[in-house]
Structure 1
C-alpha cells in the first residue's frame, strides 16, 4: 500500500511543494517567474491559511488587489500560478477542490493594446518635467506629491487641509472617503511636507488642498491632471497608474520592501487568518511605513538629479 501523504497545512507549504515538484508543466524560466509572483504578491496574504480552507472569494480578492497595485497582466500570471499550486494540492490529497478553477472569467481582461508601464528612466524624466511645468501651480503640486504618497487619485484630489497633521507629519484620510470605510494614515516625508507648506501659502484659505480654479468649493478634477499630462507629452497615460503603481513598483523591485508593507501603504487589506494581528500592529507598521516613504522620497530626489540609491535595502 502506498504511504499516506501528510497534508500541507498552509498555502505557503503548498507553494513550496509545487516549486520542488517535477509535475509542473511550465518551463523552468516561467516557473521561476511564477514563484517570484507567488512569494511577493500572494503568500503575504494567503500564506498562513490552510490550503484546504481557501475559498474562491479569498483568492479573487488577492488577485484584484494585485491588478490594482501592479497590473492586470501580473494578476493573470498570479492566477495561473495559483491554479498550478491548487491543482497539485488536489492531486496529492492536500485540498478537496481548486478554488482558482472558478475564477478564469472574474478578472478584467488584459488589454493587448495597452501600453506597457512607463519605464523607470522615463519616470524620472517625467518627474523632472513636472518640476519645471509652467501650467497651473495647483495641478503641478498635486503631480509632485502623488509619487510621494501612493494615494489614489480621487483621495489626493479631494484632500483637505483639516486632514493634514503638521505636528506629526501625517495625512489622515477619513473613513468616509475610502472604499473600505477605514481611515488611512499616510506618513509625510520631509519632501512632501515642503511641498505642502508651499501650496498652503497659495490655497490655505480654501477647504481643499487642491481647489478648483473655477470654484473654491470644489477640488480639481481628474481632467485637469490628464490635460497636464498631455502637455508634458504623455498623451494616453493614466496619471494615477503612472504615479501610484510605478512608485509601488520602485518600493518592491528597486528598494526591496515586502509586499505586505507596500500594500499597507497603498491602503489595501491583508485578508488572511492573521489580519487582526496585522492591524493590531498598525502603530508599528506606521513607523516602518514612515521610514519606507522617506527612503522613497530620497530615492526619487537622487534619481531626478541623475544619481541612484543602492537598491534592495528595505529591511523591516
Structure 2
C-alpha cells in the first residue's frame, strides 16, 4: 500500500504509468507531473474505471474512502460509474433547467416557427420582467407564491394588462417545460383569477368623415421628413399595422402586379399578407423612389439607412400635427378604414376582414377566402383611396354611385339631392 511520502516521491516519465495502492485503487502519473487517482473494478465481468480526482487535492485517505464507497455499491449490485453519470446528467439538467434557460429555449422555438418579430420582442420583454425574481430558479421548484409575488410587482405599478399577459407567457413556458420533461406541473394555473382584469381601452382613431378630411389635409401638408409624411399617407390608404409598415422592404413590392407582399414573419398571425395597391399608393411609392434613400427599407431611420424608422415616429408626427394620443394613433387608421368600409354597405364583410389581415387560421379556408375576395379587395382598395382623397379635397360625392369601369369606383353625384347614405358618410 502506498504512503504519502511514496506518492510525493513519484516523478513523471515520457509516458504515463500506474502505481497500485490496493483493492483496485491506484495512482496514474502523467508526463506533465500530475498524479491522478483511479479505481478499477469489474461489474458483471466487465472492467470499468472511476476517477477520484488528483493528488494532493484528493488525499490518500479520501481516495481510499471513495474506493470503499464504490466497492460497497458494486457489492450491492450497483454500478458506481452509472451512478456518477446519472449525477452528472442531473447536475447538468439542473443548470439548464432554470426558468430563464427554458424561457430562452421556448422563445428560440417561437422564432423557428416563424412568429413575428414583434411577438418575439414582446416575449423577450416578458422574460425580462420575470428575471428579477425567478430567472435562476429551477423551473420544477418554482411555486405559485413566487410567481404571484413576481407578477404582482408589475400589477402594483398599475400595469394590469401587462400582468395578465405576463401570467399567460409564464404559463406557456411552463407548458413547454412539461412537454420537454423538465417539470410535471404548471403553477400559473393556480393563479387564474388572481389579477385585475383591466377595462378594455380601444385605440384612438378618428372616424367621422369631416374629421378624416381634416386629418388627411394635415398629413398632406406635414412639414417634417417627406418619408414620414408618405408613411402616414400609405398607412391611411392601406391600413396595415404600424409594425408591418415600418419594416416595408423594397423587395416586397411588385409594382407590375400592383401588390405589396408582406412576409409571414412580420405579420401578427404569422401568415403572409398581400395588399392590393391603388393608383394613389403606387404614386406614393414612386415618390419614395425619387427621394433616393439607400438601403432596403422604404422608410429608413434618419440616423441610419440600415434601420427602419422607430416605432413611435408616426405617432410623434401626429402629435406634431396637433392630434393627441386620445384622438388619433398610427394604429387608428385600421379602425378608421374598418368603420367606414363596413358602414358603406358596399363590400362583403369577409373581404374587409381579409384586407385588415384578420386572418382565417385554417389554411384551406384561408386559401379559399383569398381566391374568393382578391378581386373585390382590389376594387375596394381603389375605392378607399378615392374616398379619402375626395374627403381631403372637400368634394361631396355619393359613394354608392359607381361608373361603368368597376363596382366601387367613385363617381361625382348629380346635381339632385344627396342620398341619405352620402349624408351619413360625409357626416
TM range (shorter): 0.5 to 0.7
Preserved contact between residue 259 and residue 276 of structure 2 (Cα < 8 Å): yes
Preserved contact between residue 263 and residue 272 of structure 2 (Cα < 8 Å): yes
Does 1:187 pair with 2:303?
no
Q: Match for residue 244 of structure 1?
A: 334
Larger relative strand fraction: 2
Question: Root-mean-square deviation (CA), in Å?
Answer: 3.0
Q: 1:310 aligns with which of 398, 401, 404?
A: 398
Preserved contact between residue 206 and residue 328 of structure 2 (Cα < 8 Å): no
Q: 1:110 aligns with which of 196, 200, 203?
A: 200
Instruction: Give runs of aligned pairs for residues 160-239 of structure 1, distance below 5 A.
Output: 160-203=249-292, 205-236=294-325, 237-239=327-329
Does 1:140 pair with 2:220?
no
Q: TM-score normalised to the size of structure 2?
A: 0.45
Preserved contact between residue 203 and residue 210 of structure 1 (Cα < 8 Å): no
Preserved contact between residue 159 and residue 210 of structure 1 (Cα < 8 Å): yes
> C-alpha separation between the residues in 2 aligned to 1:180 and 1:277?
15
Instruction: Give runs of aligned pairs for residues 1-316 of structure 1, distance below 5 A.
Output: 109-111=199-201, 117-203=206-292, 205-236=294-325, 237-254=327-344, 256-270=346-360, 276-277=364-365, 279-312=367-400
> C-alpha separation between the residues in 1 aligned to 2:226 and 2:313?
12
State the 1:259 CA deviation.
2.0
After TM superposition, where is structure 1 displaced by more than 4 Å over at least 4 residues in a row?
Answer: 105-108, 114-118, 312-316
Q: Match for residue 92 of structure 1?
A: none
| Structure 2: segments with no counterpart, 5+ residues | 1-194, 409-427
Q: TM-score normalised to the size of structure 1?
A: 0.60
State the 1:283 CA deviation.
3.0
> C-alpha separation between the residues in 2 aligned to 1:107 and 1:125?
36
Cα gap change, 1:207/1:178 in structure 2, threshold over 3 Å: closer, same or farther?
A: same
Name the SS for the 2:236 alignment partner. Answer: helix
> C-alpha separation between the residues in 1 aligned to 2:328 and 2:266?
21
Preserved contact between residue 163 and residue 172 of structure 1 (Cα < 8 Å): yes
Length, aligned pairs only: 211
Q: Match for residue 67 of structure 1?
A: none
State the 1:201 CA deviation.
1.6
State the 1:219 CA deviation.
0.4
> C-alpha separation between the residues in 1 aligned to 2:289 and 2:322?
28
State the 1:109 CA deviation.
2.0
Structure showing greater radius of gyration is 2
| Structure 1: segments with no counterpart, 5+ residues | 1-104
Q: Deviations over 1:191-240 (max 9, x none)?
A: 00000000112245321000001011110012221211111110214423
